[in-house]
Amino acid sequence: MSPKTNVNYSYHAVRIVLGLVYFHFGILKFFPDLSPAELLASQTIMRMSGGMLDANTALFYLAIMECALGLALIFNVCMRAAFVLFVFHMIGTFAPLVVLPELTFRIAPLAPTMEGQYIIKNIVFVAAGWAVLMPPLFLSKTEQSSQNSYQLAE
């Protein structure tokens, strides 16, 4: 197996695993008290929406968004829309560090709480999402299909 083939398999593996994580975390949010991020996510969305969304509605829409993003990544469809959802989600994911510092830091910015650490580790998601979602933004449809068939042929 050539190094280029390994890179191609790695790209697909990262895309699928990232999609599985998003889908799994999204599904959890449909069921009360299953998601460990439920309180933090709902409080953040409520604060950022100016109270226009209640906690249950906020979690429902977040669950839909995470499941849709996960499915797009798993099945490699609608990648441009997935990129927009991903950026929107990452902004929302890091927002508690600013809008809810009382929940995310013991001593800002040096001593995060468990919730703060949970958020900060999402930098890995940013890197993985960047690697997986940026190529479709800059390649035409024909370049993407020829690249995918080339990757699978090796």
Residue 147 has pLDDT above 70, yes or no: no
- The residues pairing with 112 across neighbouring beta strands, listed in sequence order, are 105
Residue 64 has pLDDT above 50, yes or no: yes
d(CA 42, CA 24): 18
Residue 3 has pLDDT above 60, yes or no: yes
Residue 154 has pLDDT above 50, yes or no: no
Reported for 74-82, long-range contacts at CB under 8 A and 24+ positions apart, including other chains, are 74/15, 74/16, 74/19, 74/20, 74/23, 75/19, 76/15, 76/148, 79/133, 79/136, 79/137, 80/136, 80/137, 82/133
Strands (E), 1-154: 105-107, 111-112
Q: pLDDT value at position 152?
A: 47
Average pLDDT over residues 4-25: 89
